[in-house]
Amino acid sequence: MRTTVASRSSSSAFMRFCRDYGWAYLFILAPVLLFLVFTLYPVISALIMSFQHYNPMNTTWIGLNNYKTLFQDDVFWKSMRNTVIFTIGTVPVNIVITFVLSYFIFQMKNSWQTLFKATLYLPTVASGVTLSIVWIAIYDPTSTGLINRFLGLFGIDPVIWLGQSSTALFSLMLMNWLGSHGAGIILYLAAMGGIPKSLYEAADIDHASGWTKFARITWPLLKPTTLYLLVTGVITSFQVFISVYLMTHGGPNFATTTIAYLIYDTAFKFYDFGLASAQSFVLAIMIIIVSVIQFKFLSSDVEY
Partner 1 sequence: MRKKGIMLAAAAMLLLLTTACGKDSGGTAADGKKKDTVVVWTYPVHGTYEDDLKQLVANFNKEHPEITVQTEMLSWAEGPQKFDVALNAGNPPDLYFHGVDGSYVNTGLALPLDSYMTQEIKDDYLPGTLELAQIGGKQYGLPLYQFEWAWGANKRILEEAGIDWKSIQQNGWTWSEFTADAAKLTKKLPDGSTQYALVTDGTSMDFIEMLTRNNNMPDVLDENGQFQWNDDRIKQTLTFIQNLISKGYMPKETAAIDPKKRTDMFYAGQTAIISKSIPYYDVMIQNRNKDIDAGKLQGEKIDFVLLPVPHNDNAPAKTTMGAEGYLAFKQKKDKGEEHAKNVFLVMEALSGAEAGNSANELALPFVRKSQAEMFKDKGLASQETLDAAKKMAENMSMPVTLKLDIAKAAQMKQFKNQVALPNMQALYAGEKTPDAITEEFSSKGKQMLGQ
Partner 2 sequence: MHSKSKIIMVTVASVILGLWAIVTIIPLYWMIIGSVQDTTLSATYKPQMIPSIWSVAPFERFFSKTSAWRWLFNSVFISAVLTATNVFFGSLAGYAFAKLKFPGSKTVFWVLLSTMMIPAQVTLIPLYVLIINVFNLGDTYTAIILPGAVSVGNIFLMKQYMSSLPTSLIHAARIDACSEFGIFWKVILPLAKPGLAVLAIFTFVTSWNDFFWPFLITSSDEMRTIQVGLASFVFAESTDYGAIMAGATVGALPMMILFFSLQRYFLQGITIGAVKG
b/e code 2-37 from CB counts within 10 Å (16+ = b): eeeeeeeeeeeeeeeeeeeeeeeeeeeeeeeeeeee
Residues touching partner 2, count (CB under 8 A): 85
Taking residues 42 to 81 in sequence order and writing x for each that binds partner 1 by CB under 8 A, - otherwise, the string is ------------xxxxx----------------x------
Measure the CA angle with vertex 206, ends 203 and 208; round to 5°.
Answer: 60
Tell me the window of 8-16, 73-81, 163-171, 177-185 that interacts with partner 2 (CB under 8 A): 177-185
249 scored as a contact of partner 1 (CB under 8 A) = yes
Q: Residues 6, 7, 18, 41: which binds partner 2 (CB under 8 A)? A: 41
| Nearest distance in Å: CB 4, partner 2 | 27
Stretch 83-102: interaction string toward partner 2, x if CB under 8 A: ------------------x-
Q: Which of 164, 236, 239, 291 binds partner 1 (CB under 8 A)?
A: 164
d(Cα 96, Cα 101) in Å, to the nearest integer? 9
Chosen from partner 2, partner 1, none, partner binding at 242 (C-beta under 5 to 8 Å by type): partner 2
Q: From partner 2, partner 1, none, which one binds at residue 269 (CB under 5 to 8 Å depending on kind)?
A: partner 1
According to the binding rule CB under 8 A, does residue 252 interact with partner 2? no
Shortest distance (Å) from residue 86 CB to partner 1? 18
Give the total of residues touching partner 1 (CB under 8 A): 28
Does residue 235 touch partner 2 according to CB under 8 A? yes
Residue 251 in contact with partner 1, rule: CB under 8 A:
yes
Q: CB under 5 to 8 A by kind: which of partner 2, partner 1, none does 12 bind?
A: none
The reply to whether 141 sits near partner 1 by the rule CB under 8 A is yes
Among 1, 4, 5, 23, interactor with partner 2 by CB under 8 A: 23
Round to whole Å and give the CA distance between 118 and 301: 31
**Given the complex with partner 1, which of 75 and 85 has the nearer CB atom?**
75
Q: Does 254 bind partner 1 (CB under 8 A)?
A: yes
76 in contact with partner 2 (CB under 8 A): no
How many alpha carbons fall within 13 Å on the CB side of residue 16? 6
How far apart are the C-alpha atoms of 196 and 192, rounded to whole Å?
9
Report the distance separating Cα 131 and Cα 123, nearest Å. 8
**Window 88 to 107, contacts with partner 1 (CB under 8 A):** none
Binding site for partner 1 (CB under 8 A): 54-58, 75, 139, 141-143, 158, 160-166, 249, 251-254, 268-271, 273
